[in-house]
Every structure is written in C-alpha cells, then in structure tokens.
Structure 1
C-alpha cells in the first residue's frame, strides 16, 4: 500500500456521535414525485418531466432500496463500534428524503450532542460525492441556527481504503468465475471476457473540477481526480484478481440536458462495442457505488443485463460492499482515525491505509475543492471555513453519549 504524503491530517477529536449521511430515496409510489422534486430543486423541472423519468422507481413499487440498505449499514456500524468498545451512537440523515439532514442535526443537538463525525455513502471526490454533502451540512447548521453550537467534521473520501476495495476484489473474482462457467456450459470455455468497472457519469465540467482546489500540487489521469480515483481502484482490484484480464471504466445513469457533455462511454454503448470486437462475456463491477441502490438495480441489473442478452453476452454483476464485514470494519477504522474516544484504537489512526498512490485523501479539503458552479454555499470540512466550528468545551463531564 502507498499513500500521498502531502495529505493534511486533521487533529483527532472527542466526538459524541457519528452521522451517517446519504442520498435518500422514496419509500412508496406517493413519495416518488416529491422525492424527485427534492433531487432537482432549483432547476424548474415540471412534474410531467419528473414523471417521465420515474419509471425505474415506479417499476419497483415506488421504493428505492437505499433507505433499507442504510438502516442495515447503520445497525452494522453501531454493532462494529460497540464491539470495539467505542461508545458512539450512529445517527442517520439524508439529503433528499426523510430522515432529512437538518432534522437529524436538530435532534442531535436536542439530545445533547455537540460534536459529530460524518461518514457519507459516497467514496470518491467530486461535487455530488463530497462537496455537496459538506454544503448540505453547512446550510443545515445555518438554517437551524446551530452554527457555532454544533460541530460536524467529516472522514476522508475512502475510495481506496482496504475496507471499500477488498469486497470488490472478492466479488470481482467470484463474478469472473461465474461468467467463465456460463461460457463453459455454452461450449465456449475459451471465449474472451471483459471486465467493466461502472460508475455514475457526471458533467465534464464537474469531473474536471473534482479534486481541484487552491494549492493542489498534483495532476490527475484524464484531468480529473474523480476519473483517476476510479481508474486507480480498478487497477488495484485487477492486480489482485487477474493482472492479465482486460478491463475498462464505463459510466452510467446520465441525466440532464443533452447538450451538456458528460463522462463517457455509457455502459450500454461499451457493451455493443465489445460484442462487435468478439467479446463473449462481461463482468460488471459497480465500483462507484457503496450499495445496491436503484441505479445499480435498474441501470445495471435491468438495462445492462438486457443489453447483454440482446447481444448474446454472458453477464454477471459483482456485489457492492453494502454491509460486508470488511466494509463495515473499514468505516469503523476511518472513524478511529479521527476520534480520541477509545485510545485502545489509536494505532489505527496513524496508518491511514490506502491501496493506491492517490490516497489517503485529505481529512479536510483545501479551499474551493470540487467547485460548485451553481453558486457559493456555506461549507464544512474545508480549510479556512468557519462553518460548524464551536469553542472548545470547558473541562468537566464527558459529552453526552446517548443512543441514536
């Protein structure tokens, strides 16, 4: 494992709760349009257009699996922290559906919590995966009047932490074996296979701004930290699974105006090109995703699978980390890097493991990192930001350690 020596390390703190922050999703047919209004707020998109793009939710009973998955992850993380003797409740707040982040912060403050450590369900660096969460917290603290009363810090982006990468190594190997079995059963055991690492497409402008900030000394592959991080993680996975196996990075779930350029190639276009080249089987690895939420179940398990069936390609999709024990343990280690709550775990912190040369990523982002082209907003966890800062607590009893 290698690491980037220039990454600033934040001072460890005594936290009194962990905040699990995520995207959120509808939990019934009546929730779908209100949820999509939340996601697209400020863009002036009419309900008729939202209804036209709601089909993947409608086909699943109006329910996104992400909330259930976050409940499971919250419970698993609580159990892992308890097993390590770390008395930190895990709170949960979403950007776009209940439980909403502002309400969660208010409830945390009302329960006596004063310093939270945020873990998000997004591993990579770009506006929507990191800065937008930091802005949501900054705006929530301002809107609730909790700025200066409740501090919220954030763990580093963990794209190359072993806890995130190793479940993909395990799953990719298993999926390769399944596709090879499918081809053998079809009498084409020696047919070529390709591994596609899939992640969410984002606008090119956001991709180019990803990881860019004042004082950033590095250049990134393809001019983007977002792209470079995915390529580095995919390379680390294949180095362990099969260094000779061909693979590539593809994108999915594009949305927005057609004239705005986004990262390509789209996974379905890539599948068609691979079939034309004589590839007979594909393994799809959703390397950009923490859990099997709607964009995995629909864009990969439905649309990409159907494309493979039409093209005559053997197909298997590797699992996401979800509640894999290594992933849950990795999140606990990220918390231990920042928390002084259990000194028995202090040895975990200084190591800051990373499986690529791009990490470990910054604990505190540099000014302007992953720029917001839609306007400046209050932001936490950025060098020079005063949002969320609170005065040091006076000597006395330890902060409240109540349940979530």
Structure 2
C-alpha cells in the first residue's frame, strides 16, 4: 500500500476493537451477567443475587454499555474529522456485544490486522492480562469454527497520556469548585482506583518491576502526582493527597490494597480535614464502581460523618481522550511500519511497552494470552 493512500497512516491495521468489561442492561440481566463475571468459581446463584443488589438500585442497568456507545461515537467522529478510514468495533468480556461475536464479525468483514483499545488504563492481571486471555479464547473459538482469525495487537497503557491526564485535571478543578467555599482551600484529594489483591499488584507489569505494588501502584501514584501538581499550578494551593482504593470483592483472609475510600474518609474526618475531593483515576468512565461505590456508598459515609465531599468526573467520551486514542493508533501503526514516532507520555514513568513481555501481570493459572510476547497468535 502506498504511503499516499488515505488509509496509509493506519497501515498495517484495518480495524480498531474497543474491548470492555460489559454490564447488565435490565433486571433480568443482572444474575446472568454476574455468572459470566464469576465463571468457574462455583458461586451459588442465591449469593449472586445478593451481590447484585447494587445493580438493582439502578434498575438493573450498569452505565458502562451506554458510556461505551458514547466513546464509540467520539472515536468515530474524531477519526472521520482527521481523515482516518479505520472502522471501530466494540466487544465485551462479560455481556453483549460479546467479544467472540465481535471478532467473528470482524473476520467475516475481511479484517486481518486489528488494534485493541481496552477500557483499562493500567497494568494488572484483571486490567490487562485477563483481557488478553479473553482475546486468545475468542480467537481459538474462531479457529474451531474453521475461520482464520485476524492478528490482534493491543494499544499500550495510556494512563499517562495527556489526553487521559488533562481531562482528569479539569475534572478535579471542577469538583473542588463544588465544595463549600470555606473548606475548598484546605480540602484533600483522594485519588481512587479499584483495589486488587496485594499479590496481584506486586506482580503487575514487567518482571523487573515486580514487588511492593508493582506497576499497578507505581502508575497510579504517578498519575495522582501529575494531577495534584497541575492543580497546584492552576490554583496556587497545594492540596494534600493520597492514593486510596475501592470496590474490594475478595475473600476477607486475602490481603488487598488499602486503605478503602470509606476508611480514608473516616480517618480524614478524624484528623480534622474539612473536605475531600474523590478523583477516580482508576476508571475510564462513570460505570457501576463509580456510581455505587463512590456516589452512593462513599458519599453516604461522608454524609454520616458530616464531611463535605465532591467527586470528579472520569474521562468518559471526552474529545481529548478520543484524540489520544487516535494518536496511540497512529503511533503503533508507524512503529509496525518500522518508523520511530514520538511516544507521548507525562510523568516519571515514560511511555509503556507495545508488547507485553513474558511474565508481565502473570495469570493465576497458565492460560494462553493474545497480543503479547507469549501470544500463540503472533
């Protein structure tokens, strides 16, 4: 293909796959969805009904699918506005549209080289490796059907791309402005992300960085520092901050990352902190963990304490994030063509790897994973 072709900037890629977690879209979907999420763990259906109560508070609808549709629209608009002829597909791990169905459609539409954008910005087993395992499972299913699956690559982690960080800075400033004027300057920032087992955190990222929270904690701390510094530069106020965790779901005897956001709010109140802004840097959109664990549970805890809180928005379908995805697509495509494009990243950690190395975010049990150095579908 000539570099003068309109499709050349994306070559050798001919499609982008938005890969997400998925969520129920009605009360009847909740338990089947949770059965998909917990597949293989033997959790009784009655227990899943209990676990699903926070979905029923929202009529059984997770916001994530609607938010992914908005992101799809934003990506397609940005690509069209910049002359990129790259179709965008969407598949989920745990609910319709299911990943295998989307990959089958991609294959039947004639696509042979596919880039994947996962709606998880950081390194971890559940945020990266598990997506890659699901990709490998889906590709194996296509082969079993007699189809020749496309080659699938994954965009690098984008937690420190300006198109992810800057919208979070603006959201933090907007949330600070929501606090009562008398507590605003002394407010603390609580940067929140999904808690994971400490063992999973310690082995996140490449092997050389394993231990003491691994890449998962290091990447979140770097983003939190970037946002706090930007807020200080724009307001002249140095707000104290801490990385805290939410949405723990594991067995009580297994250590998970702490402190929990509700425990942190209680400690902050006890220390005389006049207000807190919760900044969900660990999430791409305002899905259920944000709407329930922060907007419902943590906000209720703060109300009980009499502690003013505000919650910053996630990046969602912000046009700057869509533009960042376009830049990452063009960067990866140029790299695949043997060029050395500028790799945009803020903070101390620099741009991440394109290809997950062997031993990166290792699986709980050995399973094939696509889009990495150990992929059976290279």
TM-score relative to the length of structure 1 = 0.86
Partner of 1:165: 165
1:56 equivalent to 2:54? Answer: yes
Aligned-pair distance for 1:386? 3.0
CA distance in 2, matches of 1:171, 1:159: 15
Question: Structure 2 regions of 5+ residues with no counterpart?
Answer: 1-9
Aligned-pair distance for 1:314? 1.1
8 A contact 2:142–2:149 mirrored in 1: no
- 1:265-322 alpha-carbon deviations (Å, 9 max, x no partner): 0000000000000011010000000000011000001111111111111111000000
1:382 equivalent to 2:376? Answer: no
Partner of 1:14: 12
Deviates more, 1:331-340 or 1:63-72: 331-340
CA distance in 2, matches of 1:288, 1:223: 15
CA distance in 2, matches of 1:204, 1:280: 31
1:34 corresponds, among 32, 35, 41, to 32
SS at match of 1:339: helix
Partner of 2:3: none
CA distance in 1, matches of 2:120, 2:268: 29
Aligned-pair distance for 1:88? 0.6
Aligned-pair distance for 1:257? 1.0
Query: How many residue pairs align between the two structures?
Result: 362
Partner of 1:307: 301
CA distance in 2, matches of 1:226, 1:176: 26
Aligned-pair distance for 1:139? 1.1
2:311 corresponds, among 287, 310, 317, to 317
Structure with higher helix content: 2
Partner of 1:212: 206
Residues 120 and 227 of structure 1, relative CA distance in 2, 3 Å threshold: same
* Aligned residue runs from structure 1 range 122-137, under 5 A: 122-137=120-135
1:264 equivalent to 2:258? Answer: yes
Residues 13 and 209 of structure 1, relative CA distance in 2, 3 Å threshold: farther
8 A contact 1:183–1:314 mirrored in 2: no
SS at match of 1:117: strand
CA distance in 2, matches of 1:212, 1:204: 16
SS at match of 2:341: helix
2:286 corresponds, among 287, 292, 312, to 292
- 1:194-250 alpha-carbon deviations (Å, 9 max, x no partner): 11000000011110110133xx3x467x44110010000000111111162100010
CA distance in 2, matches of 1:249, 1:28: 33
Partner of 1:353: 344
1:228 corresponds, among 218, 229, 243, to 218
Aligned-pair distance for 1:189? 6.6
Deviates more, 1:24-33 or 1:331-340: 331-340
- 1:85-125 alpha-carbon deviations (Å, 9 max, x no partner): 11011000000000011110011111111111000110000
1:364 corresponds, among 342, 355, 367, to 355
8 A contact 1:337–1:350 mirrored in 2: yes
Residues 108 and 131 of structure 1, relative CA distance in 2, 3 Å threshold: same
CA distance in 2, matches of 1:147, 1:383: 23
SS at match of 1:257: coil
8 A contact 1:116–1:153 mirrored in 2: yes
Runs of 4+ aligned structure 1 residues displaced above 6 Å come to: none
SS at match of 2:228: helix
CA distance in 2, matches of 1:238, 1:46: 43
CA distance in 2, matches of 1:223, 1:377: 23
CA distance in 2, matches of 1:149, 1:326: 32
Aligned-pair distance for 1:378? 1.5
Question: Structure 1 regions of 5+ residues with no counterpart?
Answer: 1-11, 390-404
Residues 264 and 79 of structure 1, relative CA distance in 2, 3 Å threshold: same
TM-score relative to the length of structure 2 = 0.92
Residues 189 and 262 of structure 1, relative CA distance in 2, 3 Å threshold: closer
